[in-house]
Chains A and B, each alone.
Chain A
Amino acid sequence: MSNRTQIDARGAFCPGPLMEVIATLKLIEIGDEIEVLSTDQGTVKDLPEWCAKVGHEHVETVQHDGYASLVVRKSK
């Protein structure tokens, strides 16, 4: 069963949310997930792009009032 770690990066500026996700990916197991909350407008496009580039799975993006929630699954 996979675990999910939440990162509240609301208020952090680019590339802060991405860097926090990458640092956390090094600490979790393959198949585990990270949910990052971000107010940075770039993260919504940047994080899925980064996942596609390096081979992790972007599971979903949910837009909330004033921030987005993005889920990444560690794939390697």
Chain B
Amino acid sequence: MSNAPLFILLVSPEHEKIQMAAMMASVGAVSERPVTMLVSMNALLSFERDLPAEQAYTGGRLSDVMKDKGVPDAINLLQQGKELGEMEVYACSMALDVLGWETDNLTEGLFDGPLGLTKFLNDAEEGQFVTL
């Protein structure tokens, strides 16, 4: 079976998309597929440090249902994936620049640093690419 690296570009602040990105990233990482995730655009706002989960996302019906049923939070799932598998999470350097943020403004312990799109795209040539 293939162990092709998985590259996830997350740009949406929608709860459903962030949840799916976190599920794909964590399951991929624990299935011996190295995962690199780049968070950019409005998705980065969902990872503002100390932002309560109930304020972190936009979302629709599935978001409401997931919250009601206590589905594990996407950020916790990403942290679990990092602990148990091979996963790197980066913040888009352009989005950080326009927000005037540093990595310290983001969820503690989750991000591996800022990353430019050129490096991400070059690395992604060797794997599968998903955009959410």
Contacts and interface: CB of A to CB of B under 8 A. Distances in A.
Q: Chain A: interface secondary structure?
A: helix
A18 interface: yes
Contacts of A13: 69, 71-72
Contact of B32 (A16, A26, A53): A53
Contacts of B83: 23
Contact of B26 (A12, A19, A50, A52): A19
Interface string A8-30: 00001111101100110010000
Contact of B23 (A15, A23, A52): A15
Nearest 3 CB-CB pairs, A to B? A13-B71, A22-B30, A15-B27
A54 B80 contact: no
Interface in A15-49: 15-16, 18-19, 22-23, 26
Contacts of A50: 30-31
Determine the interface band of chain A, counting residues with CB < 8 A from chain B: 10 to 19
A16 B81 CA distance: 11
Contacts of B1: 52-53
Contacts of B69: 13
16 contacts: A12-B72, A13-B69, A13-B71, A15-B23, A15-B27, A18-B27, A19-B77, A22-B85, A23-B80, A23-B84, A26-B84, A50-B30, A50-B31, A52-B1, A53-B32, A54-B32
Interface of B: 1, 23, 26-27, 30-32, 69, 71-72, 77, 80-81, 83-85
A13 B77 CA distance: 12
| Residue among A12, A13, A16, A19 with max Cβ neighbours from chain B (10 Å) | A19
